[in-house]
Chains A and B, each alone.
Chain A
Amino acid sequence: MKASTTDPLDTERIRADFPVLQREIDGTQLVYLDNAATSQTPEPVIDTIAEYYRTYNANVHRGLHQLSQEASVAYEEAHDRVAEFIGASGGREEIVFTKNTTEAMNLVAYAWGLAELGPGDEIVLTQMEHHSSLVTWQQIGKKTGAEVNYIRIDEDGYLDMDHARELITDDTAMVSVAHVSNTLGTVNPVADLADVAHDHGAYIFVDGAQSVPHQPVDVEAIDADFFAFSGHKMCGPTGVGVLYGKRELLESMQPYLYGGSMVRKVTYEETTFEELPWKFEGGTPVISQGIALAAACDYLDEIGLERIQRHEHALAQYAYDRLTEFDDITVYGPPGDDRGGLVSFNLDSVHAHDLSSILNDHAVAIRAGDHCTQPLHDTLGTAASARASFYLYNTREEIDSLIEGIDDARTLFA
């Protein structure tokens, strides 16, 4: 029986699904708080991968033998499952499997951007973009002569929407924004930004790497033209990401990777390409990973994304409250209760890398560094920060372990 959307999560039962959470680091129970970097993998997903290799491993779209047929059906249906998961009513034709979010971003930047952009065009990003979008569009801007502008953030880490409306003009061709910031935890008003973009005839690319794993997402309600996310951050395997694109847009675009699998008829002179989405999946695709990603969607849906969101939200709020108790800790991002499930911070006297090394002694895994948002860190006035990020299996006790580790670091460095 599926739980109601408001029932609290039974973390003890959920934790039993994740074998790696049983690990000890030098005799201490692992506390894994680096979920924004990559999430852990539950048994049903691991089993799906093992079952594929144990029973029907074969190349897809090609062979007529039994294994290839089974693999092809499972791989193709995985696209439908992912489409359903994010509310893409066009089904598999709107879902391209890539290596990760970064590759999905590059696919659009190359296949659409290089063809469509030129001097006089503008690309609008935000100051909180991950390098996967920031560096990609910055470099496409250099190649095409398109100008790149950044929507400012305010002191609390929210987007300055007045500035957004100023920057997005009839010259804007693409608006590329993170749905949830991986550093600040800010949840951006992407549907509003989509409206602004569309009012000016621009497209919007929403980077959902930090939203899809943690909250219900409906790409059509957002009215995103493109949307991307990574399997490894949502209980799925590494090596698979997803590009959603509106069908007519994907149809109008030229392929990104040429080669086998993406073609229909090839002569020495000419080639006609496969239909969507295969036209964008050149070469042997991410077969086991794609099938396992569908299993991850099943796993998350079974538990319920509203419940996961509530759970993480409560954890993030608890962490925020505990961390802000200390005068020597700076916490970044929105002060309110509208943040995603992560908290970035700095302990005044201890560099984030030293803090992370000391926390490792407490078997507490956090991220320390620039989190692939160097320009944002410059804006925040720090080179690096520490980040604790939560998922469905985390508990308040684990946040208490984090705080104890921080106490220890403070004492050591006093």
Chain B
Amino acid sequence: MGLGSDMYRQQILDHYKNPRNYGELEDPTFSHTGENPTCGDTIRIDIVLADDEETIERVAFSGDGCAISQASASLLTEQLRGMTLTELHELDRDDVIDMLGVEISPMRVKCAVLAEKVAQDGAKIHTGEFEIDTTQTE
């Protein structure tokens, strides 16, 4: 079997069907949204920081889209709790793909990295590093 069904191993299907940390947080320190315009994947991530303004205390995501984008978001939220913003910014696409534990076909990488990019952009907007409305991955 090719890349396709390998891509849909149990873990991804499980996170897609039963997303972890799904929903919206009440008073998030920051909240950010992103999309893949061509796929129609959307992800919103809400984060509450600890008093140190650096450690991620609580995180939730909501959204809509393909299994890869939604499962990545679910998996990411599990990792983010307890992480610092510095650690968040150190994550790259390989970390996300490792987290998914499957090979992602080149055309689908943008689905896989959407949640990570939303979290990173959200943090940067929060710390005033830059200003955008929505994140897009292409």
Contact = CB atoms under 8 A, between A and B. Distances in A.
Interface in A49-79: none
Interface of A: 25-26, 350-354, 357-361, 369-370, 374, 377, 382-384, 412-413
Which of B3, B17, B39, B40 has the most chain A CB within a 10 Å cutoff? B40
Interface size class of B (residues with CB under 8 A): 20 to 34
Interface in B77-116: 105, 108, 111
Contacts, number: 58
A412 B40 contact: no
Contacts of B13: 412-413
B5 A353 contact: no
Contacts of B40: 370, 377, 382-384
B87 to A, nearest CB: 30
Nearest to A368: B39
A350 B13 CA distance: 11
A352 B107 CA distance: 13
B39 A413 contact: no
Nearest to A372: B38
Contacts of B4: 357-361
Interface stretch (B20-28, B43-51, B65-73, B122-130): B65-73
Contacts of A374: 37-38
Given A351-B67, A353-B108, A353-B111, A361 B2 contact: yes
A6 to B, nearest CB: 40
Interface of B: 1-5, 7-8, 13, 16-17, 37-41, 65-68, 105, 108, 111
Contacts of B38: 369-370, 374, 384
Contacts of B5: 358, 361, 412
A382 to B, nearest CB: 7
Contacts of A413: 13, 16-17, 67
A350 B65 CA distance: 9
A125 B39 CA distance: 24
The 6 closest A-B pairs by CB, nearest first: A383-B40, A351-B66, A357-B4, A361-B4, A360-B4, A353-B66
A357 B3 contact: yes
A407 B2 CA distance: 17
A361 B1 contact: yes
B8 to A, nearest CB: 6
Which of A26, A359, A383 has the most chain B CB within a 10 Å cutoff? A383
A354 B2 contact: no
